[in-house]
Structure 1
Amino acid sequence: MRATSLSRGQAILRGVVLTIGAIVFLFPFYYMVIGSLQKAPDTTVAGAFPEPGNLTLSNFADINSRINLLTGLMNSGIFTGGVLLCTVVFGMLAGYSLAVLQWRGRGTTFALALLVQVIPFQLLIIPLYVLIARDYGLADSYLGMILPFAINSTAVIIFRQYFLQVPKELFEAARIDGAGEFRLLWRVALPLVRPALVTVLLLVFIGPWNEFLWPFLITKEASMQPLAVSLANYISNVAATAANPFGAVLAGAVVLAAPVVVLFIVFQRYFISTDIGSGVKG
């Protein structure tokens, strides 16, 4: 009885701690949403619980009239989508090569992929700008925004680790049946590492979606700038002239953050799920 009551008490305590942690974690996002809906700004703690009469959507209309949220979202979507496509294709091919194929220099290549992780992007941004903007002439273009992020070493490492978990017998059996390496990758390996694919998409999505510095440098035309850059320009140049600058800025932040939050809510189960073992059952 004592053990049962102790375990029940521990379960209650754990639930209370997790609930408090969830509230603390979600409160900034809640405050951002509430602040974006307020007619008159209230930056105090009491502003988190506004009166219904102080709620409006005019802040969204105000910031949309200044920077065009739809255009910013479209630019962010194209930029992020291009990065995701390149990251998945190149990361999957490189990860498969490092995990499954046998070739000279494989260990050295993987060590270099790990080494890239410690090199800050800011260290490369000046030569990248000179190369892409001046030599390639890709300023104010989607391709110019995408190229520096086309290959992500983190994605390569994640795919490699997942491919290493796939039983070698599956590849050997498929090779005996006459399957080539690309067919092995597409028909055998990829279906078994779908959690890795979704994990890579979610992790990589955050980077380009919120990226500010590189798009800010490579784009000068407002019609080409992603939403993060448009919001930064709005805060620097015209926010002070808005009727409610605080609410307008928070409205833009809500629009920028909403897709990331929705994606994590929908696909969070893939972070802990895996079905690799199902390929060898029976």
Structure 2
Amino acid sequence: MSRAATVLRGLVLGLGALVFLFPFYYMVMGSLQTAPDQSVAGAFPHPGNLTGANYVAIDSRISLVRGLVNSGIFTGGVVLCTVVFAVLVGYALAVLQWRGRGVTFALALLVQVVPFQLLIIPLYVLIARNYGLADNYLGMILPFAINSTAVIIFRQYFLQVPKELFEAARIDGAGEVGLLVRVALPLVRPALVTVVLLTFIGPWNEFLWPFLITKRADMQPLAVSLANYITNVAATAANPFGAAMAGAVVLAAPLVVLFIVFQRYFISTDLGSGVKG
């Protein structure tokens, strides 16, 4: 690649990065302003207009720590269930031979076209009324416990694992659980990290289902608490724009940190390197 092409590529990528990062920068700047400025000029506030009072103001009304804890429990439960079930089902669809495997995989693909919103009413009746799990962490987690997308991701990764590895392990006397834990999982770590990160985003930002299933303020995830604040409380706040931006920063920060820490794992490894020629 010529020097001019390299420079042009760097400029294009840099411009794209600035366009992508500007909303986050604007959100942080808005959360630190004493006097609200919702214009573009608000992205470059005077140093004397910066304060951390907006974080104190919103925390006094909705308890950011409690909201983060609820979001963490909800998201952690969903991620744990998703990983466990997706690994087991993906392994069964990719490695084990059993009748109906193709039909099961077709059903997993079919589920992708069914919007979650169509299932909300029957799910609410089942979980809140029949099971009595309203205002309960388990009631929030159950509808998201199995993710067909994660199943498909693990299935495709397990299909790439050389069959020679499984055959050699079986000859050595390893059972299916041992094959999964000691052979398959170490080779699909990129898939594991990808599923965790992609699964984390959904429940962390989920609003509709937690809003329906929880009525107690101390049980609501931060996304629901923040929405309630904007709807019911912000109008009476001294700086509603800054407080709302402060809540949005707290909500987005864990996701940003998670991606910064684990983004290097979004690369596939050479699975075939585990087999000697």
TM-score (ref. length: structure 2)? 0.99
Q: CA deviation at 1:275?
A: 4.3
| Partners of 1:188 and 1:277 in 2: CA distance | 13
Q: Name the % identity.
A: 84
Q: What is the correspondence of 1:23-62 to structure 2 with a 5 Å cutoff?
A: 23-62=18-57
Where structure 1 has 5 or more consecutive residues not aligned to the other structure, the ranges are none
| Partners of 2:272 and 2:19 in 1: CA distance | 37
| SS of alignment partner, residue 137 of structure 1 | coil
Q: Which amino acid aligns with 1:13?
A: L
Which of 215, 219, 226 is the equivalent residue of 1:220? Answer: 215
Partner in structure 1 of residue 191 of structure 2: 196
Q: Which amino acid aligns with 1:213?
A: L
Which of 47, 64, 80 is the equivalent residue of 1:69? Answer: 64
Q: What is the correspondence of 1:1-282 to structure 2 with a 5 Å cutoff?
A: 7-281=2-276
| Runs of 4+ residues over 6 Å off in structure 1 | none
Q: Which amino acid aligns with 2:155?
A: R
Q: Which amino acid aligns with 2:209?
A: W
Q: CA deviation at 1:157?
A: 0.3
| Partners of 1:90 and 1:225 in 2: CA distance | 26
Q: CA deviation at 1:199?
A: 0.1
| Partners of 2:160 and 2:236 in 1: CA distance | 57
How far does the alpha carbon of each residue in 1:221-244 deviate from its partner, in whole angstroms, 9 at most, with x for none?
000000000000000100011110
TM-score (ref. length: structure 1)? 0.97
| Partners of 1:275 and 1:64 in 2: CA distance | 47
How far does the alpha carbon of each residue in 1:15-69 deviate from its partner, in whole angstroms, 9 at most, with x for none?
0000000000000000000000000011111111101110000000000000000
| Partners of 2:98 and 2:81 in 1: CA distance | 24
Residue correspondences, number: 277
| SS of alignment partner, residue 11 of structure 2 | helix
Task: Assess if the C-alpha contact under 8 Å between 1:206 and 1:260 holds in 2.
Answer: yes
| Partners of 1:243 and 1:278 in 2: CA distance | 61
| SS of alignment partner, residue 40 of structure 1 | coil
| Partners of 1:209 and 1:96 in 2: CA distance | 27
